[in-house]
Amino acid sequence: MSGVTADDYRWLEEFRHRFDSGFCFTFVQALDPQEVLRRLHAVDDPDYIGPGGIDIGPAPGGSIMIEWGGYAGIMRDVVRDLSADAVIASAERNVNWNATFLYAVDGEARARFDPKYRGYTPTRHPDDQLLDGEYLDMIPGYQDPGNGFIKRHLEAALAFAEHRTGVRLERRHLQSMPVYASIAHYYSPQHGGAPALA
């Protein structure tokens, strides 16, 4: 786990064609897929198409949850429910290429930052500054090009998620997952508006 770097995720290049509509990869430490489904009150609906359609599968160290075109893994309520007495990390990028890395422990977001730019955090969390340097360690030979942009940010974010959770994302997770379910209820807040972020 501790020796993982962005180099371990070079294989992502094979799947670039799938990333255009956005994605959210969530690494869930020590919980099996059934426990993830239970915590999220997921609905088994193989025909569901829309926000909150998630793929879940077992992974070394826990489970992987993937949402194509969504951002459930960085929503406040999902993070609260999924990381209670647990550790999760999510790497999200939307259709406009806005990106977020989130790390949460025991129901609380400990760090949330833009993995594309060094030191840029829209809000402050307890471990943001501590984790910034640790995140850059995921990129062997990293040198700041002067504008702060991190060229290999996706590979680095996934390596960092693995480093922090001990859960490994593998090619097979992007090829086929054993469980598809809906957590659309998280996208329908009681008081209207967009779901709050963690």
> In three state form, how does the secondary structure of 60-112 look?
CCEEEEEEECCCHHHEHHHHHHHCCCCEEEEEEECCCCCEEEEEEECCEEEEE
The greatest distance separating any two alpha carbons of the chain, rounded to the nearest whole angstrom, comes to 48
Greater confidence, 56 or 122?
Answer: 56
Given a cut of 70, whether residue 150 has pLDDT beyond it is yes
* Average confidence (pLDDT) over 45-62: 95
Tokens (6 digits) for 176:
């086929």
Given a cut of 60, whether residue 181 has pLDDT beyond it is yes
For residues 140 and 6, is the Cβ–Cβ distance under 8 A?
Answer: yes
For residues 135 and 160, is the Cβ–Cβ distance under 8 A?
Answer: yes
Residue 67 identity: E
Question: Residue 189 has what pLDDT?
Answer: 73
* Beta carbons within 10 angstroms of residue 96's beta carbon: 7
Given a cut of 60, whether residue 1 has pLDDT beyond it is no
Token pair 């062997």 is found at 140
Domain boundaries, the chain: 6-187
Report if pTM > 0.85: yes
Backbone angles phi, psi at 18, to 5 degrees: -90, -10
For residues 64 and 27, is the Cβ–Cβ distance under 8 A?
Answer: yes
